[in-house]
Every structure is written in structure tokens, then in C-alpha cells.
Structure 1
Amino acid sequence: MSEPRFTLLIPSYNTGPILRRTIEAALTTSLPVTVVIDGSTDGSDTDLEDLDDRLIVHRLPENRGKGSAVLHGIRLAAEDGFTHALAMDADGQHPTDSVEKFVAIGRRHPEAAVFGSPVFDDSAPALRVNGRKLSNFWANLETLGWGIDDSLFGMRLYPIQPLIRVLEETRFARRFDFDPEVAVRLCWHGVPLINLPTPVRYIDPEDGGVSQFRYLRDNTLLTWMHLRLFAGFLARAPWLFMRGNNPLLHLSPSQAPPSA
């Protein structure tokens, strides 16, 4: 197998000034950085190319959703010879000092997806911390316990070709449903999964923090998604029962550090 090549992939939509700070932090890592501007209208992508020659910026003409932005980015990354993409949110919630930990696991196990398992601090809203438990329950039911610690956390190292395959097999997973749906579909495809406890912080609006999460809209989308995925699970259940467990599950901690 050829040596894996990694890029740090940051999709962004109207992230404001914090985007530049996020990219500057990302550029302190060893990885080239790919940013996909998903039809932003707030001017946050102005003059980004001046930051560093390792930075690649792609702009979509209109907002298509996180999943569409990621798919656009990984297709172009694959054309440039990258084998893995470490997805990271543009809003400063994900720590760049965890990047090398993801990459180290990816080098040892290039066949695997490495999913961040969030370790929350006091900045995390209780509604967001507790609300994700329902999605996690359904994701693990739909994969027969393949080992998804958190179905919604966005800092993940993906092998690019399997991610392209699962996105091309569905017209969904293009917006807020991206993270949980591709998690389930990668497990259906038998991609080994390793979880990595990863700190996450929620930044106050006064400090430039932004959120595109809309409670009613996005929870309705997740409910519809899990109805679809459960139907897909029922169709696949005999094969999922026979194939066995995630072969790399033992490399994940049995439990992430306590969260808020």
C-alpha cells in the first residue's frame, strides 16, 4: 500500500472573522489545508489565499450544505493525490493540537476512519450535550454496535475513497445530516472505526462564535434521516449480523473521559 497523504479539510458557511483564526491555527499543523467556502455571503473568505502557500481555497457559488462542501473538497483532494481528509469545523470548536493524534492513528491504520469522541467543557450547552444521545443510540442500533461513540461530532479523519462511495450512493447527507449519515453508511460498508477522545469548546458570540444549528429544522432533518437509515438497516440486517464486529474496536477507549 502506498504511503497515505493527508489534508486538513475545513468547510465554511458564513463563519465570520473566526474563520481566519481557525485557518491560522490549522496552518500551524504539519498538514496542507483545504477550505471549501460553501456559498458564503459575509465576506469571511476575503484574502484567505494570502495566509500561506499550503492553503487551498475552493468556492462554491451557492450554499449547498456541509456534506456537499465536503464532497466537493474530497473529490478535488483525491485528484491531487490525497488519500485521507481530516474534517474540521470552521467555527473554532475543534482543537488543532489534536490533529497530529488523528494523523498518527491514520498512518498506523490507513484503512480506518478515526472519529472524534467529544470531551465537553463547561462551555457546552446542556441541550446540545444531552440531545445528541438519541442520535447516538439510533446510529449504533443501525450499525449493530459497530462502535460510533458520537454520531454528530465533526472532527473526523476519513479515508477519502470510501467516503466518496458512501456519499455518491445517496442524495442525502448533504446538510446537517452529513455527519451521522456518513458514519452509519461507512459502518455498513465495513470501514473499520477508531474513536479518539477530543476536546471541544463552544465559543461565545461575543468572542466571534457562530452556529448554523437550528433546533427545529435540524432535529426534523435528523428524525427523517434516522427513519430512512432504520429502513436501510432492516434490509441489511441479515448481512450485518453475519459479518462480525468492527475489527479495530479494541483500539478505541471503552469510554471517553467524562463529559459535561
Structure 2
Amino acid sequence: MSTPSSTHLVLIPSYNPGAKLEETVRGARAQWNPVWVVVDGSTDGSAARLQAMANDDPGLHVIVLSANRGKGGAVLAGLEAAAARGFTHVLTMDSDGQHPAALIPEFMAASHAAPEAMVLGLPKFDASAPQLRVHGRRLSNFFADFETMWAGIGDSLYGFRVYPIAPLKAIMNRQTWMRRFDFDPEAAVRLCWAGVRPIQIEAPVRYFGADEGGVSHFNYVRDNLLLAGMHLRLVSGFALRLPRLIGRRLLP
């Protein structure tokens, strides 16, 4: 895509992403303009590689954070910079090649058609997906559905999404803990609470093994504890918001 959008950009948070980074960025750039990458305190030399790419590509912009802030912190840095330049929406995708760049135009079109909504990827797993993670995410998805009275999030953990910037930035500035692995499910739930309608679109996800250049920073103990603490917060918030949520569901 050669003509840059003035409202929607692709935002890629990146921390030590491994060998798939350049391929991921090139794939995103082939589908959309502009693409921004937030280098989240990486120590693998990827910032220099990306800046070299950006020197030859005016559609690619690189933000380098001096210290690691976590996925949510990197996304927030991108949101703030994008809002300052007048953008209204970001499509977030991972830097490790797991998300389908070919679907960027479809997700952006859905967002343009319903700019008040968030467009959430509904992952379709293939044989590369670790079954422990596929089955384990069902518990988080159940709680996200419960906390929103089944508003239509679908999958709470899949980070291939289009967010409206203004409501997400406002939520994150109030909730200062939304900075790590638990960012994606909490963002979806709190946006639903704020009245942002979810739209689901099916999208494949691909897990790459180490022999294919895949890198995973997921820690089963640490990150599942983060998710458990997050859902405890959200269930408490759900109880306080229950009358409003019921009223919203009952209205035509």
C-alpha cells in the first residue's frame, strides 16, 4: 500500500522478537501504510535493523524505548505518539510472525465501516499451536465473557486487533497496571464496559518452533499468575458495573 492512511496505522510492539521480525514488518508494509514498530527495550540489535529499514521506507516509523515496559506499555507509547499525530485507530500485531498480515486490509475495512467499534481477531489454530496453551486460554476466555455478560469478545488473548485510540488510551491512563502480558484481555473487557462494541473476524495464528526462528517470551507460571490477578480485579469491577451492564443488554 503506497498511499498512507491518515487515521489508521499498524502498530507492532516488539521485544527481542527473533528472526521473523523483518519478514513480519515487510509483510505488514506490503498491506498497509503506515506501519509503526515500538522497540520495547530490546537487547538483540533489532532496533538498529529496524531503523535501517525505516531509512529506506517512509511508510515505516520506529519508536525505541530505552527500557522494557511490557506489551501494554509499548502499545501505550505507540497510542500516545499516534494520537499526537492525529491518528484515530491502531491495528496491533505481534512482531514474531504469528499474526496474518494478509488480513490487515480486511480488519481495517471493518474498522472504517464501524469506527466506534473494536475489531477482534478470532484465532484459528493449526497443528503448530501448543495444545497446553490452546486449552489453557479457554479459562481466560470464559472469565472475559462472564465479566462482559457475553458481549462478544470471542478470544480474549489474541492480540491481532484494531483498537479505537481515544477510549483505549483513556482506560490505560486510569489503569496503570495494564502494561504486561495481561494487557490484551483487560483492554477488551474494559473497552466493552466503556460501551465499545466488539466485532469478531476469524484469523489464523501460526506458532513457529525454535528451528523456524520462533521466539516465545511466555512464562507459564508468571503470566498465568498475571492473568489470575487481572481477572480477580475484573470480577470485582464487574460486580460494581452489573446494573449498568444489565441495562445495556436489555435496551433494544
Q: In structure 1, how many angstroms separate the alpha carbons of the residues matched to 2:155 and 2:116?
A: 20
Aligned to 1:44: 46
- Tell whether the 8 Å contact from 2:116 to 2:197 is kept in structure 1 after alignment: yes
- Tell whether the 8 Å contact from 2:118 to 2:196 is kept in structure 1 after alignment: yes
Give RMSD over aligned pairs.
1.5
| 1:155-174 deviations in Å (ceiling 9; x for gaps) | 00001111101111201120
Q: Select the structure that is richer in helix.
A: 2
Give the TM-score of the pair, scaled to structure 2: 0.94
Aligned to 1:169: 174
How many residue pairs get matched?
Answer: 245
1:72 aligns with 2:77: yes
Aligned to 2:21: 19
Q: In structure 2, how many angstroms separate the alpha carbons of the residues matched to 1:95 and 1:182?
A: 21
Q: In structure 1, how many angstroms separate the alpha carbons of the residues matched to 2:18 and 2:214?
A: 9
Q: Aligned with 2:31: secondary structure?
A: coil
Q: In structure 2, how many angstroms separate the alpha carbons of the residues matched to 1:195 and 1:169?
A: 26
Task: Give the drift of 1:238.
Answer: 1.0
| 1:90-141 deviations in Å (ceiling 9; x for gaps) | 0100011010110110111111100000001110110111100000000011
2:116 partner amino acid: E
User: Residues 48-197 of structure 1 correspond to what in structure 2 (within 5 A)?
Assistant: 48-51=50-53, 52-197=57-202
- Tell whether the 8 Å contact from 2:9 to 2:91 is kept in structure 1 after alignment: yes
Q: 1:95 to 1:216 in 2, by over 3 A?
A: same
2:136 partner amino acid: G
1:67 partner amino acid: G
Identity %: 53
Q: In structure 2, how many angstroms separate the alpha carbons of the residues matched to 1:246 and 1:217?
A: 40
- Tell whether the 8 Å contact from 1:193 to 1:246 is kept in structure 2 after alignment: no
Give the TM-score of the pair, scaled to structure 1: 0.91
1:31 aligns with 2:33: yes
Q: Aligned with 1:45: secondary structure?
A: helix
- Tell whether the 8 Å contact from 1:118 to 1:197 is kept in structure 2 after alignment: yes
1:155 partner amino acid: F
- Tell whether the 8 Å contact from 2:11 to 2:92 is kept in structure 1 after alignment: yes
2:244 partner amino acid: W
Structure 2: any 5+ residue segments left out of the alignment? none
1:6 aligns with 2:11: no
2:43 partner amino acid: T
Task: Give the drift of 1:4.
Answer: 6.8
